[in-house]
Amino acid sequence: MIQQVDKVVLDTLKERLKEIFGYSQFRGDQEIIIQNILAGKNTFVIMPTGAGKSLCYQLPAIVSDGMAIVISPLIALMKNQVDQMNAFGINAQFLNSTLTKAEINKVKKDALDGSLKLLYIAPESLTKEENLDFLQKTKISFVAIDEAHCISEWGHDFRPEYRRIHGIIDNIGNLPIIALTATATPKVQQDIRKNLQMEEAETFKSSFNRKNLYYEIRSKKEAKKQLIKYIRNNKGKSGIVYCLSRKTVEEVAEFLSVNDVRALPYHAGLDSNTRMANQDAFLNEEADVIVATIAFGMGIDKPDVRFVIHYDAPKSLEGYYQETGRAGRDGLEGNCIMFYSFEDIQKLEKFNKDKSVTERDNARHLLNEMVAYANLGVCRRRQLLSYFGEYLDKDCGFCDNCVKPTERMKVQDEVILVLKATQFTGQRFDAEHIADLVTATENQYVRSYEHDKLEDIYGKGTELNESHEFWVSLLRQLVIYGFLEKDVENYGVLKLSEKGANYINDPYPVTISKDHNYEEEDEKVEEEDKEVAVGSGSAHAYDEALLGMLKALRKKVAKEKNLPPYVIFQDPSLEEMATTYPTTQQEMAQINGVGMGKVQKFGRQFIELISRYVEENDIETAKDVVIKSTVNKSKVKIYIIQQVDRKVDLEEIAEAKDLSMEDLIEEIEHICYSGTKLNLDYYVNQIMDRERQQDIYDYFMNAETDNIAVALKEFAGDDVSEEELRLMRIKFLSELAN
């Protein structure tokens, strides 16, 4: 159904753009895309988040006869766009599972009488027989498929129902299609075209380069402390924190709230009213930070999100790119920070265990790309653009790898070797196989293809660099620098580019970057922190002068109360006080091994001493280091406290919670050290006579330390068990310290 675009319609496009959306000019390819749709042609739009994809189907829907169908995967996205259209005075509605029967009837009435311009519908709702019957009776201008990457099983958000869309559209009528996505690798783009049978469609591809976004990856060590420090330094700015699980979302949102950040959670486990209320609070600036699973943000039109933080590593680079794209959509400041740990990657691999073989393989490939992105020392922007099939010929200067580069090195023979290895093996293998070949790593594939007989290649890499990881990293970097290309048809397979083929005949030194070693970087940061904290090259992070004063005060208080000093506060607690300078009861209660009970019992003099010291020495206290913890009384701990209060035997408690006796005692110790008083007399009296109890109690009263190993040596000849000593220590500390 190809048609000529009415000149009057074209002339009015800019008028309607200004009148409805408030823009004087189209951005990028928007105008030509809209003209293509109005001409009744199939259209494929690849445009990064924030570049104005939605307008590409909203404006032609408004100026066309009939109603446009918008197939969209998320209720939140539908609601947001419908609200926006209605605010502009355009009749737009959605049809999904949240509507009542009366609301569904109202939507259908508006569609049938021609007053409805945009109907947002989920692919699941599209398949329902009654909806198909109703749509066949309406006048439809075109179909827009938003988030079209959901069609591809090679995409990061594959949805099987998306693959049925084309057949359903055929049942409704011969309608033009516009498919839109912000994240599609060349492989995914090909898959979308094939599935929608729109190979002839004109493709409009905008650059994936969002120049205002700053990309940074940090080790996940002490992530909560890093998170609160960053958000405090960006107080009042809007941000999104993405987490992988609902549980983590709840924990992080609560943690931020406790630390006076206006933060709200968002995930699919919340009831829809709460979810919508939290989303609206964020959009209306009643909350600064939304902590969310990936269910949040698709299509959310908030231009002033200043930071997007990935608390957990995402499952794919597509997901990561799409989520970071929600920062700085107004073209101003946008910071994208990801906390990375290999433990997160291992967790994600476990999640994939129960998938089908194909899904598992696809998920593994996507995850490997994520790992490479985190670990490579190459400019982040060049990596991202390369992944989406776009080449950047120089470093961006605006990412962590550009600002603080890893060690660089020049290579030439190494480059020639892997390019020849790619060429001599028929350009049919991935980076792992080429690395196996040049390092003579024995495996069935190398042998079965007889690549171990390639004398000029096999094992030659070991003479230059023995590390298998080095060669994989080099191959990945050569893709980014344009010497190698990815085969679109065969996932992971590398081919020589024209640049790579020329290089073999005319080589020159190439600068590559060393991969990140986050463990080493953690150690380096710790050392720097210690030096900054002390300023004297001392090996400790704490203030030695203050620590000496705190120990002297502890000794004085202990003497007055006739208690061993460790009962007042243990050494690690004093060291932390001398690092973070707590000057209020709340701050003191956050110190490990303290808790509010101990603060009220022993804390006053210590707080006064620290306050005086801070004032006299003009110390600017690192408030961003002192972070409040959420009250962490897990269900197990609460259960133990309740059962002990009811005087239930410890063996019964352990059995009920499937704990060993040793693990149960450890849980009870944690409860005791956090300042909760537990009365275990009912149990201790059963297993020890009074005289034995008194001997151990007296020992702890006079000992310099409560270390159990030291106590065991003291009672070596008296047949006292470790369990008895630990239970008596709990009794002793509960009575005197809590």
Cβ-count burial of 433 within 10 angstroms (0-12 exposed, 13-18 middle, 19+ buried)? buried
pLDDT of residue 542: 75
Could you tell me if residue 624 is inside a domain? no
Q: Distance between CA atoms of 284 and 278, rounded to whole angstroms?
A: 10
CATH number of domain containing 223: 3.40.50.300
Checking if the pLDDT of 621 tops 90, the result is no
Residues ≥6 apart with Cβ < 8 Å to 359:
153, 158, 352
> Looking at the structure, do residues 25 and 124 belong to the same domain, yes or no?
yes
* Residue tagged 């990596």 (tokens): 383
Q: What is the mean pLDDT of residues 138-162?
A: 86
Residue 124's pLDDT band, with cuts at 50, 70 and 90, is confident
Strand, coil or helix: 51: coil
Q: Do 225 and 627 meet the contact criterion of CB atoms below 8 Å apart?
A: yes
Checking if the pLDDT of 737 tops 70, the result is yes
Q: What is the mean pLDDT of residues 202-216?
A: 93
Q: Do 307 and 327 meet the contact criterion of CB atoms below 8 Å apart?
A: yes
Percent of the chain with pLDDT over 70: 93
Longest dimension (CA), the chain: 103
pLDDT of residue 425: 92
Please state the φ and ψ torsions of residue 95, each to the nearest 5 degrees: -125, 105
Chain-centroid distance, C-alpha 218: 12
Neighbour-count burial for 318-355, b at 16+ CB within 10 Å, e otherwise: bbbbbbbbbbbbeeebbbbbbbbbeebbeebeeebeee
| Residue 536 neighbours by CB distance under 10 Å | 8
* Residue of 729 and 351 predicted with greater confidence: 729
* Residue of 378 and 569 predicted with greater confidence: 378
Percent of the chain with pLDDT over 90: 47
pLDDT of residue 533: 41
Sheet holding 140-145, edge to edge: 92-95, 118-121, 67-71, 140-145, 177-181, 43-46, 202-205
> Looking at the structure, do residues 97 and 122 belong to the same domain, yes or no?
yes
Residue 440 structure tokens: 């003579």
Residue 471's pLDDT band, with cuts at 50, 70 and 90, is very high
Residue 7's pLDDT band, with cuts at 50, 70 and 90, is low
Q: Which of 331, 414, 361 is nearest to 50 (CA)?
A: 331
Q: Which of 314, 306, 302, 271 is nearest to 75 (CA)?
A: 271
Checking if the pLDDT of 268 tops 90, the result is no
Q: What is the mean pLDDT of residues 331-336?
A: 92
Strand, coil or helix: 123: helix
Could you tell me if residue 528 is inside a domain? no
pLDDT of residue 125: 85
pLDDT of residue 178: 97
Rg (CA), the chain: 32
DSSP-derived pairing of the beta strands 334-340 and 305-310? parallel
Residue count of the chain: 738
pLDDT of residue 74: 77
| Mean of pLDDT over the chain | 87
Give the count of alpha carbons within 13 A of 19, CB side only. Answer: 10
Residue 160's pLDDT band, with cuts at 50, 70 and 90, is confident
The continuous run of DSSP H or E covering 204 comes out as: strand 202-205
Residue 378 structure tokens: 């190459």
pLDDT of residue 526: 61
Residues ≥6 apart with Cβ < 8 Å to 727:
665, 680, 683, 684, 687
Q: Do 435 and 475 meet the contact criterion of CB atoms below 8 Å apart?
A: yes
The residue out of 616, 644, 672 marking a domain boundary is 616
| Residue 124 neighbours by CB distance under 10 Å | 14
Strand, coil or helix: 484: strand
Residue 312 structure tokens: 């957990």
Could you tell me if residue 384 is inside a domain? no
C-alpha distances (whole Å) from 543 to each of 221, 549, 615 are 23, 10, 15
pLDDT of residue 653: 92
Checking if the pLDDT of 604 tops 50, the result is yes
Could you tell me if residue 629 is inside a domain? no
Could you tell me if residue 393 is inside a domain? no
Chain-centroid distance, C-alpha 269: 18
Residue 453's pLDDT band, with cuts at 50, 70 and 90, is confident
pLDDT of residue 436: 92
Dump pLDDT digits (tens) for 42-83: 999 999 877 788 999 999 999 999 999 999 887 767 887 898
Checking if the pLDDT of 534 tops 60, the result is no
Q: What is the mean pLDDT of residues 544-553?
A: 92
> Looking at the structure, do residues 688 and 573 belong to the same domain, yes or no?
no
Please name the residue ranges forming H helices in 70-146.
75-87, 101-112, 123-126, 129-136
Q: Which of 405, 408, 387 is nearest to 397 (CA)?
A: 405
pLDDT of residue 535: 38
Q: Which of 241, 245, 484 is nearest to 350 (CA)?
A: 245
Q: Which amino acid is at 298?
A: M
Could you tell me if residue 115 is inside a domain? yes
Residue 658's pLDDT band, with cuts at 50, 70 and 90, is confident
Checking if the pLDDT of 624 tops 50, the result is no
> Looking at the structure, do residues 169 and 300 belong to the same domain, yes or no?
no
Residues ≥6 apart with Cβ < 8 Å to 707:
none
The continuous run of DSSP H or E covering 282 comes out as: helix 272-283
Annotate 88-101 with three-state secondary structure. CCCCEEEECCCCCH
Residue 1's pLDDT band, with cuts at 50, 70 and 90, is very low
Q: What is the mean pLDDT of residues 488-494?
A: 85
> Looking at the structure, do residues 190 and 226 belong to the same domain, yes or no?
no
DSSP state of 306: E
DSSP-derived pairing of the beta strands 177-181 and 92-95? unpaired
Q: Do 438 and 459 meet the contact criterion of CB atoms below 8 Å apart?
A: yes
* Residue of 433 and 738 predicted with greater confidence: 433
Q: Which amino acid is at 515?
A: D
> Looking at the structure, do residues 163 and 228 belong to the same domain, yes or no?
no
Residue 705's pLDDT band, with cuts at 50, 70 and 90, is confident
Picking from 209-213, 397-401, 462-466, 727-731, which range would have the lowest pLDDT averaged per residue? 462-466
Residue 6's pLDDT band, with cuts at 50, 70 and 90, is low
Could you tell me if residue 395 is inside a domain? no
Q: Do 71 and 96 meet the contact criterion of CB atoms below 8 Å apart?
A: no
> Looking at the structure, do residues 118 and 161 belong to the same domain, yes or no?
yes
pLDDT of residue 113: 92
Checking if the pLDDT of 39 tops 70, the result is yes
Q: Do 231 and 239 meet the contact criterion of CB atoms below 8 Å apart?
A: yes
Checking if the pLDDT of 629 tops 70, the result is no
> Which domain does 548 fall in, by range?
542-616
> Looking at the structure, do residues 601 and 640 belong to the same domain, yes or no?
no
Q: What is the mean pLDDT of residues 229-241?
A: 92
Checking if the pLDDT of 543 tops 90, the result is no
CATH number of domain containing 460: 1.10.10.10
Q: Do 139 and 114 meet the contact criterion of CB atoms below 8 Å apart?
A: yes
Give the count of alpha carbons within 13 A of 693, CB side only. Answer: 16
Residues ≥6 apart with Cβ < 8 Å to 130:
none
Q: Which amino acid is at 531?
A: E
Residue 521 structure tokens: 């970087």
Could you tell me if residue 2 is inside a domain? no
pLDDT of residue 562: 86
Residue 264 structure tokens: 């709200």
Per the structure, how many domains does the chain have? 5
> Looking at the structure, do residues 504 and 565 belong to the same domain, yes or no?
no
> Looking at the structure, do residues 661 and 695 belong to the same domain, yes or no?
yes
Checking if the pLDDT of 738 tops 80, the result is no
pLDDT of residue 159: 80
> Looking at the structure, do residues 558 and 509 belong to the same domain, yes or no?
no
DSSP state of 54: T
Q: Distance between CA atoms of 15 and 27, rounded to whole angstroms?
A: 15
Checking if the pLDDT of 477 tops 80, the result is yes
Dump pLDDT digits (tens) for 103-115: 999 999 999 999 9
Q: Distance between CA atoms of 45 and 542, rounded to whole angstroms?
A: 57
C-alpha distances (whole Å) from 701 to each of 406, 691, 705, 735 are 54, 15, 10, 12
Please state the φ and ψ torsions of residue 230, each to the nearest 5 degrees: -65, -45
pLDDT of residue 693: 92
> Looking at the structure, do residues 598 and 643 belong to the same domain, yes or no?
no
C-alpha distances (whole Å) from 232 to each of 226, 534, 623 are 10, 23, 10
C-alpha distances (whole Å) from 477 to each of 183, 411, 511, 515, 557 are 21, 12, 10, 10, 62
